[in-house]
Amino acid sequence: MRTAWLWVLGVAIAASAQTVMPLAEVRPGMTGYGLTVVAGTEIARFEAQVVAVLDEPGDKNDFILVRVWGPAITQSGGVAQGMSGSPVYLDGRLAGALSRAALWSMDREKPLALVTPIEPMLKVLEEVVNGYSADPGEEMAGVVPAPDLWDISVPMTVSGLSTRAVGLLEQGWSWDGLEMSELVPLFRRKVPGLLDLGVPKVQAVPRASGGATMNFVPGGPVGVALAMGDITVGALGTVTLVRDGAILAFGHPFLLTGACRYFLTDAAIFATVAAYDISYKFGSLGEIRGGVFADRMPGVAGLTGRIPRGIATTITVRDLGTLASRTLAVQLVDEARLSPLLLFVSGVQAADEVLDRIGPGTMTVRYTLRGLGLPRPLTRQNVFLSTEDIALYTAWEAALVADLLMYNEFQDPRLTSIDLEVAVRGDFRAAEIVDLATEKVEYAPGEVIRFALWMRNWRGQEERWDGQLRIPEGLESPYVELRAYAGPRRREKAEPPPVFEGIEDLMSFVEGIPSYDTVTVELFARDPISDLVGETWLYGVHKVSDRLPGVFVYGRVSLILPLTGD
C-alpha cells in the first residue's frame, strides 16, 4: 500500500499500516498526544495517557480510556463536542480517535475520555475505498456506548431555519388525517424527525462567513451535510485519517445509516465554547468537497472529489396579498429516511419567510419531481386551506409523494430535482357541499339519475351544479347511495386496493388522485357479500367530477335511493 505523508506540527505522519497501533499493543500508562482545532486553522496538540483498555468480545464495543490535558483542553473547558475524530497517537502511532467523554469526569483540566480503536475504523475506510461505486449523475471532481458517556460530535447544526422549523426537523410529522394515506397503503403514517434517528438535539446557529476552512488533515475540521444552500443542515467533527483522498472521521456514527450518500464538506471553526454542561466547537460548514459513503458504529468515511448525486430543490412562494415572493434553493441528500423530512421543513421555512406570520389562508401548490429512475417527471397540483397555519402545507404533499417514491417496491427513483410553485392568499377560498337532491326517490337499474348539488362559499353565497349518472343495467343491490364529496375519498370495504405493475402505474395513480378543489358525485352499490359478514360493504359504480380551480371544497352529503325491479 502506498504511504501518504502528512505534515502536522512539523512531524511527518505516515497513513500506512506501519503507523497504526493495534488495540492488542495498547497498555495502561502509555502516553501520547492528540490533535484538534480549537479555533481558526491552527491544529493544537493535547496530551493523552492510557488509563485502561476496554477489550470486549468483537470490536464494536472496544475502547481505550484515556486522560487528556493541555492548553487545548483547558481552553475548551474539557473535551468538547466537535472533537470527535481527533486522532490520538501512542508511541508515534495512530491508536484511534477521540469519540466519547465521561459525564462523571468532573476534572475539566484532565478529563477522562474514550478513544475508538483505529482497527474497526479502518474497516469503515476500506468499505468506502474498495466498495464504492459511482452512481450515474454524480460529479467526479479532479456500540452502543457505555452508560454516562456521550458522543462528542457537535449536535446537528442548522442555519437558515427558524426556531419552529428546527422543531419540525427534530420531531418529524404525521400523515394521519390525510385521505391519500388511505388510498395508497404504502404511505407511512409517520415521517420520523431527527430525534427519532438518534440525534440528541438540533442546534440552530446564525449564518457565518469569513471563517477560514482547511484542507483535510488529521486533527482538522470536517463537515457532514444533509442539506446545502439557503438552508444548511449538518454536523461538525474532526478528521482522524486521510489516505489517498479517503477521509476517516468522528470515531462514532453520525446517524448510523450504514451505506449512505451524505455531502462531505470542509469547515471553519470560529471558537470552542467552554460550557457548564458540555463544551462545543462553534463553526460552520464550508463547500462540498466530496461524499460520505459509510456511516458505521466506529465512524464515518468518505471520498474527496466524489460528490453524491443530490436533489436540487427550489421552492417559490408568492403572497398574493402583499405581492412578496421568495425562491428558496437547497441541495438535499438523496436518502429515503431524510429527504422527505428536509423537503417538508424547507417548505415551511420558505412560506414563513414570505408570509411573515403564522396564520390562516388558502394555498395553491404545483410541484414536479424528476429522477434518473423515473420514466418521466411526476407533476401534480393541489389546493389547501387552514384556519390556523397555512405554511405547513407548502411542501406537505410533495414530501409525502417523495417518501412514497423512495420506498416504492419497483425501483430506486434516484430523484434529481423537486420544484414547487406556491401561491398563498390570506383569505379563505372555500366552498362547502351543503345539499343534494334528485328528481325521484327510487329508481330501477339502467335509469338515469338527474341530480342537483348545492355548494355554499365562505360568505354564504350558494351555487348549484346539475348533473346526471346512469345506474348500470343488471345491478344487484337493494339500493344505491348517491354521494357528493370533496377531494379524494377513503377506499370502501368492497373495493380492492390498487394494484401496480410498475413505477409508471404508481405515478399515474398518484397524479390521478382528486385534488381538494375537486367535487365528485358518485354512485355506490351494496356488495352481496354484506349479507354474509353482517356489515354494509359498498363499492363505487359510476361518478362525475368537476373542479373549482383554487377553491378548497369540503363537506359530504348522500342520499339512499331504493332500487325497484321495474
Q: Where are the domains of the chain?
A: 5-121, 139-307, 311-425, 430-562
CA pair distance 46, 77, nearest whole angstrom? 13
Q: Taking 70 as the threshold, does the pLDDT of residue 184 lie above it?
A: no
Residue 516 grid coordinates:
381538494
Q: Is the dihedral of CA 348, 353, 355, 356 positive or negative?
A: positive
Tell me how far apart the alpha carbons of residues 116 and 99 are, in angstroms, rounded to a whole number.
6
Backbone angles phi, psi at 231, to 5 degrees: -125, 135
Residue 238: closest CA among 252, 215, 218? 218
422 forms beta bridges with: 317, 365
Rg (CA), the chain: 30
Q: Decide: 273 and 317 in contact? Cβ < 8 Å.
A: no
Q: Quick one: pLDDT band at residue 429, thresholds 50, 70, 90? A: very high
318-347 average pLDDT score: 95
Asked if 424 and 355 touch (Cβ cutoff 8 Å), the reply is yes
What is the DSSP annotation of 199-216? ---EEE------PPP---
Residue 189 has pLDDT above 80, yes or no: no
E strands present in 442-496: 448-457, 462-470, 479-486
Q: Check residue 137 and give its pLDDT.
A: 67
pLDDT digits (tens, 9 = 90+) for 387-407: 999 999 999 999 989 998 998
Q: What is the pTM of this model?
A: 0.88
Distances (CA, A) of 563 to 60, 68, 457, 543: 71, 86, 34, 18
Residue of 413, 138, 150 lying closest to 293 (CA atoms): 138
CATH class entry, domain 5-121: mainly beta
pLDDT at 186 over 90: no
Contacts (Cβ under 8 Å, ≥6 apart) of 120: 59, 60, 62, 297, 298
**All cell numbers assigned to 72:** 487545548
- In sequence order, which residues have a C-beta less than 8 Å from that of residue 371 and are 6 or more positions away? 405, 413, 414, 415, 416
Residue written as cell 428546527?
Answer: 166
- The answer to whether 267 touches 223, Cβ cutoff 8 Å, is yes
pLDDT higher than 50, residue 17: no
> In this structure, are residues 451 and 466 in contact, taking their beta carbons and an 8 Å threshold?
yes
> Which pLDDT belongs to residue 106?
53
Contacts of 283 by beta carbon, 8 Å cutoff, 6+ apart = 82, 154, 208, 211, 221, 236, 267, 268, 269, 270
> Of 305-309, 420-424, 532-536, which gets the smallest average pLDDT?
532-536
Q: How far apart are CA 208 and CA 210, in angstroms?
A: 7
**What integer pLDDT is reported at residue 139 of this predicted model?**
63
455-514 confidence digits (pLDDT tens): 998 877 889 999 999 999 989 899 999 999 999 988 888 888 888 999 999 999 999 999
- The single residue listed with the C-alpha cell 469569513 is 210
Q: Please state, in angstroms and rounded to a whole number, the distance separating the CA atoms of residues 269 and 251.
A: 19
Residue 249 CA: distances (Å) to CA of 14, 74, 204, 407, 539: 17, 23, 23, 30, 58
pLDDT digits (tens, 9 = 90+) for 270-317: 877 666 566 667 788 889 999 999 999 999 999 999 999 999 999 999
Render pLDDT for 77-128 as a digit per residue (tens, 0 to 9): 778 777 889 999 999 999 999 988 765 555 567 888 899 999 999 999 999 9
Range with the lowest mean pLDDT among 7-11, 48-52, 186-190, 345-349?
Answer: 7-11
